Amino acid sequence: MSEISTRHKAAIGIGLVIADSFFFSLMTLFVRLTGDIPTMQKCFFRNAFAALIAVVALSRTEEKFHIRKGSLPGLLARSISGGLGMILNFYAIDRIGLADANILNKMSPFFAIIASIFILKEIPKRSDWIAVVIAFIGAVFIIKPSANMASVYALFGLIGGLGAGIAYTFVRKLGQQGERGPVIVAFFSIFTSLLCLPSMIIDFHPMSRLQWLFMILAGLSAAGGQFTVTAAYKYAPAKNISVFDYAQVLFASIWGAVIFDELPDRFSVIGYVIVISCAVGRWAYLMRSERSR
């Protein structure tokens, strides 16, 4: 592979990651636009539509629905942690600023550093620990700890990021074991739909045509995000391009300002700058270290 083709593939990977960020920001937008519907009902339909798309895509592969031997525990762990993380993220989306909810969910890479110790037996480097500490300082600015409920909702958003970080770590482990991406996506979507189903049946709220439209669009956006990010990492390693996923915060800020008239306060902006700068700084450090080898 020539240097030019390597750069070209990296550019495609970056473009796909930004597209993934756009799709997931749309998902959070449509989830908010569905209005006063229970969180579990939103999660069910978001995953049910995504599961349908994933199952159709998987049915067209050569191995169909075959799960590799030894993958089931990892698939279950990924789905439980990711499902709980999504529920908390959706809960936060309806109660705090859209940009705040997105950036707190994007704490997941820093939680993944810690989760990797227990799941992958990887010992973080000193630079990784420094990045984790700085990122959590940024999260404190966004959460703004106090006795009011806004801080509690923001904390739920942060815990949602923890669930996502654990889930992504299990995705890495499954990838190392040779499990296919479409299987991971389909299993997660189906599992989370079933997880939310009992609660949705007990507390189902009828939806208007517009709410149905927004739920369908949320599911389609989520599927678009899942498939574009999976394609992105075929072109370039995650460590080289994942930092561009923070574009989701930019997109969410635009939706929040234009559609909901939400403008982050100065403390949230300071938090955004700290978290994103930390992620970019860690990415630049890793790239420099890789080139020096």
At which residue do the structure tokens 């984790």 appear? 132
Q: How many CA atoms lie within 13 A of 275 on its CB side?
A: 31
Answer yes or no: is pLDDT of 197 > 70: yes
Tell me whether residue 198 is exposed, middle or buried, using C-beta atoms within 10 angstroms of its C-beta: 0 to 12, 13 to 18, 19 or more. Answer: exposed
Q: Which long-range contacts (CB under 8 A, 24 or more apart) does 128-135 make?
A: 128/282, 131/278, 131/279, 131/281, 131/282, 134/274, 134/278, 135/107, 135/110, 135/274, 135/275, 135/278, 135/279
* Calpha distance 50→260 (Å, rounded): 26
Spans of all domains in the chain = 3-292
Mean pLDDT of all residues belonging to the chain: 89
Alpha carbons 228 and 223: distance in angstroms, whole number: 8
Band the pLDDT of 147: cuts 50, 70, 90.
low
pLDDT tens-place string over residues 218-253: 988 988 887 787 777 677 766 677 788 899 999 999
Percent of the chain with pLDDT over 90: 60
Burial class, 213, CB count within 10 angstroms (exposed 0-12 / middle 13-18 / buried 19+):
middle
* Amino acid 103: pLDDT: 94
Give residue 99's pLDDT. Answer: 94
- Helix (H) or strand (E) holding 94, with range, is none
Burial of 292 (0-12, 13-18, 19+ CB in 10 A): exposed
Question: Quick one: DSSP state of residue 123?
Answer: P
User: What mean pLDDT is predicted for residues 156-163?
Assistant: 96
Q: In this structure, are residues 229 and 17 in contact, taking their beta carbons and an 8 Å threshold?
A: yes
pLDDT, residue 150, reads: 86
Structure tokens at 226: 């899942």
Amino acid, single-letter form, for residue 23? F
Residue 293 confidence class, pLDDT cut points 50, 70, 90: low
- pTM for the structure as a whole: 0.89
Q: Is 137 exposed, middle or buried (0-12, 13-18, 19+ CB in 10 A)?
A: middle
Quickly state the pLDDT bin for 3 (edges 50, 70, 90). Answer: very low
Tens-place pLDDT, residues 72-106: 999 999 999 999 999 999 999 999 999 999 999 99
Q: How far is CA 273 from CA 41, 52, 92, 266, in A?
A: 34, 38, 21, 11
